[in-house]
Structure 1
Amino acid sequence: MKKSLLVLSACLLGFSAFSQTIDEVYTKYITTAGGAANGDKIKTMKITGTLTVQGMDLPLIQHIISGRGVKTDVEVMGSSVQFSYLDGAGWKINPYGGAPEATAMDESELADFRDQTAPVSPLFDSKKNGDKLELAGEETLPDGKAWKIKATSKDGRVTEYFVNSTSFDLVKSVSKRTVNGAEMNVEAGYGDYKLVEGVRLPFSLSTSGGPVNQAITIEKYEINVPVDEKIFAKP
């Protein structure tokens, strides 16, 4: 009898662990973020903020054309660091990273910046982009429990997203990147969410695990402002 109860208990625990499906978790995330309709209304975005790296606070401006392009400009001690991606092609100018003149991005960089063309988040656009999504369990993070979503893109890249189990905000992502020929796990954090024109957006972001740890504080998001495609042109 006791053995039967133990078996029954184990079955019930197993049922509880998988009571949420990937569709349910993903739908709750999309709803929390503002809903697909509001997200799809965003055609362009301008982000103004401050990048904090190696003890320096650097002005940052980013322009996004949804699903097509992203241009990031950072001022560093009088120099301009630029990253530009549009329709599958990209270039960078980074005097502090071995690219004092406009240099073509490699395949890994192109993939990273292609993800950044999603105005709300890459996870928000995952299904639209044809990614395969799997619910990979629930983990305990410093800010509480989070659902772990494994997203596999059409080209085989895997990103793990962590969605808070209570708020259903995206709080973390983990992906592999190739930097200077070496593959490493890069972790991104998202927080301080606020509502902007019907969409919840993070005003605090961070990355760790790459060449340097970085934090970004967003001052403002401007939605559906004019973005001149000339800014993406390689000098």
Structure 2
Amino acid sequence: MNSRFIFKAVIALLLSGGAVAAQTVDEIVNKHVDAMGGAAKLAQLKSVRIAADMEVMNMQVPVTTTIVQDKGFRSETTVQGMTIIQSVNGNTGWAMNPMSGDTKAVALPEEAVKALSAETDLTGLYNYKQKGYVLTLEGEDEVQGAKVYKVSMTVKGGIKRINYISKDTFYILKIVSAGNMGGQEITTENVQSNFKQIDGITFAFTSEVKNSMMPGATMLAKIKSVEVNSKIDESIFQMPK
């Protein structure tokens, strides 16, 4: 057989395989977007305010998170009557931790700003190409007995995530994130469940989070309330003087 013919056949097969893989990723993402409420709803999602209780080290810790799409993130965690604040506003971030004796806001390191900035995207895989995210279908796996698609992506600031998307519901059942903090590779695993719709948009009301900085510990977060598209005073993201 002509060697040039074989070469062309191999190239055609590889190109064909790549097209099928890309189409498969898009099919999975489209079904996931539908499961989360649909493209029309997600396109209108501009802000959320979430109140949750987090169980960590046998303590119940209330957490309030406020996010404005692509603009700002702020979390307030109350421990023993003191409130720890973390916030990002565009490319800058700050924190206030009275438990460590810090009564004034201090600037967050660049790695922490990148990690929190990635959280300002409320719509995830929706419109991922326009956002500049790179997605790859890594195969299939299982999460607590449920069959899932394993889809990796790179988001803002070079943060890498692997999304474990249910083959049944197309919800994301687990997210594994990897990033660098102070020269150390940090891995976070978030197992999600108890999905409910608020104003037509799906949220995971229960999350079990493990972090490589706290080996052996699991943080259990349960959402109490979600406000969608409420008016947010964006000055709350700015670092106090």
Task: Tell me the residue number matched to 1:209.
Answer: 211
Matches within 5 A, 1:48-67: 48-67=51-70
Unmatched 5+ stretches in structure 2: 1-16
- 1:206·1:216 contact (CA, 8 Å) conserved in 2? yes
Whether 1:233 and 2:238 are equivalent positions in the alignment is yes
Task: Tell me the residue number matched to 2:151.
Answer: 149
Distance 1:19 1:86 in 2: 34
1:200 Cα offset (Å): 0.9
Q: What SS does structure 1 have at the residue aligned with 2:61? A: strand
Whether 1:26 and 2:29 are equivalent positions in the alignment is yes
Task: Tell me the residue number matched to 1:123.
Answer: 125
Matches within 5 A, 1:175-214: 175-212=177-214, 213-214=218-219
- 1:92·1:99 contact (CA, 8 Å) conserved in 2? no
Q: Which sits farther off after the overlay, 64-73 or 177-186? A: 177-186
Query: Among the aligned pairs, what percent are the same residue?
Result: 26
Task: Tell me the residue number matched to 2:83.
Answer: 80
1:154 Cα offset (Å): 6.3
Distance 2:30 2:74 in 1: 30
Q: Structure 1's 83 and 21: CA in aligned 2 closer, same or farther, altered over 3 A?
A: same
Q: Structure 1's 100 and 146: CA in aligned 2 closer, same or farther, altered over 3 A?
A: farther
TM-score, length-scaled by structure 1: 0.84
1:231 Cα offset (Å): 1.2
2:107 to 91, 104, 108: 104
1:189 Cα offset (Å): 1.6
Q: Aligned-residue CA RMSD in angstroms?
A: 2.3
Q: Structure 1's 138 and 234: CA in aligned 2 closer, same or farther, altered over 3 A?
A: same
Q: What SS does structure 1 have at the residue aligned with 2:168? A: coil
Q: Structure 1's 172 and 178: CA in aligned 2 closer, same or farther, altered over 3 A?
A: same
Between structures 1 and 2, the one with greater helix share: 2
Q: What SS does structure 2 have at the residue aligned with 1:116? A: helix
Task: Map Cα deviations across residues 15-51 of structure 1 (whole Å, 9 max, x no partner).
Answer: 9x96971111111111111111101111111111112
Task: Map Cα deviations across residues 168-191 of structure 1 (whole Å, 9 max, x no partner).
Answer: 001111121334532132111211
